[in-house]
Amino acid sequence: MLFVPAKTQFSFTLQWTVATLSGFLVSLLLIEIGEKPDVGFLQAVIGGLAIALAQSIILRHTSFYFKWVLFTILGWGAIAVLGIGAVGWIVPTTESLPTRILCEAFSGGIGGFGIGLAQWWAIYQSVRLAWRWIFISAVSWAIAMPIGSAIGMILSQLTQLFLGEVIGLAIAWLLVAILTGMNAYKWLK
């Protein structure tokens, strides 16, 4: 059994969410939000590092926290190289809300699957039924990205500021953090 410092699912999920969202905000200091061609391999690796380091603080009592960082970075780099892009840092160019929602659900699901698969390599020896993490990640991203993207597009159109799109991405990261945090607690206890 692994040691989890958080006593309840709520406290763990809150810690995971704060860590993940903090990692995203730190990544904004290092990389620029952009369109798919503008956000490539290096940006994905830097962003993945910021997220993984923040999450590793929560996972520091596990046997796989170092592998979590390594495989998370590799996963973000791989999905960028494969042409999916740095999903959490890319703003879609389409102005059609239904198209945007469908495209973001698809790219979020594919990107989440890639990240989940990479992270599975970090946890599979330590976590029972670790293969589920791949699908938890994919579904979490497939839910979060279209919601965040739709909100971002609406805010951007209302304010005429690109900041609306950045807020939409932050909302997507918040949703991913909550959804994955609730599930990570279950396999850590």
Q: pLDDT by residue (tens digit) across 114-155? A: 999 999 999 999 998 999 999 999 999 999 999 999 999 999
Asked whether residue 102 is assigned to any structural domain, the reply reads: yes
Asked whether residue 116 is assigned to any structural domain, the reply reads: yes
The mean pLDDT of 74-80, rounded to a whole number, is: 93
> Taking a C-beta distance cutoff of 8 angstroms, is the pair 73, 27 a contact?
no
pLDDT score at 27: 93
Alpha-carbon gap, residue 86 to 77, rounded angstroms: 8
Asked whether residue 109 is assigned to any structural domain, the reply reads: yes
Q: What is the 3-state secondary structure (H, E, C) of 121-135?
A: HHHCCCCCCCCHHHH
Hey, which residues does 90 pair with through a beta bridge? 34
pLDDT band at 3 (very low <50, low <70, confident <90, very high): very low
Asked whether residue 3 is assigned to any structural domain, the reply reads: no
> Taking a C-beta distance cutoff of 8 angstroms, is the pair 137, 154 a contact?
no
Single pTM value for the model: 0.92
Half-sphere exposure of 84 (CA within 13 A, CB side): 22
pLDDT score at 91: 85
pLDDT one-digit tens code per residue, 59-72:
998 999 999 999 99
pLDDT score at 188: 75
Asked whether residue 128 is assigned to any structural domain, the reply reads: yes
Asked whether residue 4 is assigned to any structural domain, the reply reads: no
Mean pLDDT of the chain: 91
Q: Which domain holds residue 23?
A: 9-188
Domains identified in the chain, total number = 1
pLDDT band at 1 (very low <50, low <70, confident <90, very high): very low
pLDDT score at 95: 87
Asked whether residue 2 is assigned to any structural domain, the reply reads: no
Q: Name the residue among 147, 32, 165 with its Cα closest to residue 92.
A: 165
Asked whether residue 152 is assigned to any structural domain, the reply reads: yes
Hey, which residues does 34 pair with through a beta bridge? 90
Where does residue 29 rank: exposed (0-12), middle (13-18), buried (19+ CB within 10 A)? exposed
What residues contact 98, with CB distance under 8 A and at least 6 apart?
none
